[in-house]
């Protein structure tokens, strides 16, 4: 595709429900990152996938958060038993690797937990 896409663009859910957010990286990009941006705050690293290596999960805030990626394709971020403090914009970025390391960001998913 032309760029990184994310779906849905907006998600409103009730507290306690599970949500799944999807990221389609640029075709051929080996690395994929998930970030969270709460209102008025900066980018918060969540998780990083690089090829077939074990992901770097050091940024996941709790065990309610998990992410999967199969090979170098789509990734899903799952938040179980959502809480109001999970409300944020969730951004995905992919990188082609090599010597570039430029991250190409998607437009984000705005999650609102009511």
Partner 1 sequence: KDQVFQPSTVASSEGAVVEIFCNHSVSNAYNFFWYLHFPGCAPRLLVKGSKPSQQGRYNMTYERFSSSLLILQVREADAAVYYCACLRDTGFQKLVFGTGTRLLVSP
Q: List contacts with partner 1 (CB under 8 A).
A: 3-4, 33, 35, 41-43, 45, 48, 50, 53, 56, 89, 91, 93, 95, 101-108
Q: Of 22 and 80, which has the nearer Cβ to partner 1?
A: 22
List all residues 6 or more positions away from 63 whose beta carbon is below 8 Å from its beta carbon. none
| Minimum separation from the CB atom of position 81 to partner 1 (A) | 27
| Minimum separation from the CB atom of position 86 to partner 1 (A) | 18
Q: Of 14 and 58, which has the nearer Cβ to partner 1?
A: 58
Is residue 41 within 8 Å of residue 55, measured between CB atoms?
no
DSSP per-residue string spanning 7-40: E-SEEEE-TT--EEEEEEPPTT--EEEEEEE-TT
């Amino acid at each position: 595709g032309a760029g990184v896409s994310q779906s849905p663009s907006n998600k409103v859910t009730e507290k306690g429900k599970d949500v799944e957010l999807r990221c389609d990286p640029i075709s051929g990009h080996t690395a994929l990152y998930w970030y969270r941006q709460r209102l008025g705050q900066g980018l918060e690293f969540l998780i990083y996938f690089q090829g077939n290596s074990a992901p770097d999960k050091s940024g996941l805030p709790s065990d309610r958060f998990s992410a999967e990626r199969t090979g170098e394709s789509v990734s899903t971020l799952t938040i179980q038993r959502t809480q109001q403090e999970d409300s944020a914009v969730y951004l995905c970025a992919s990188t082609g690797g090599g010597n570039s390391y430029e991250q190409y960001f998607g437009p984000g998913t705005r999650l609102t937990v009511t």
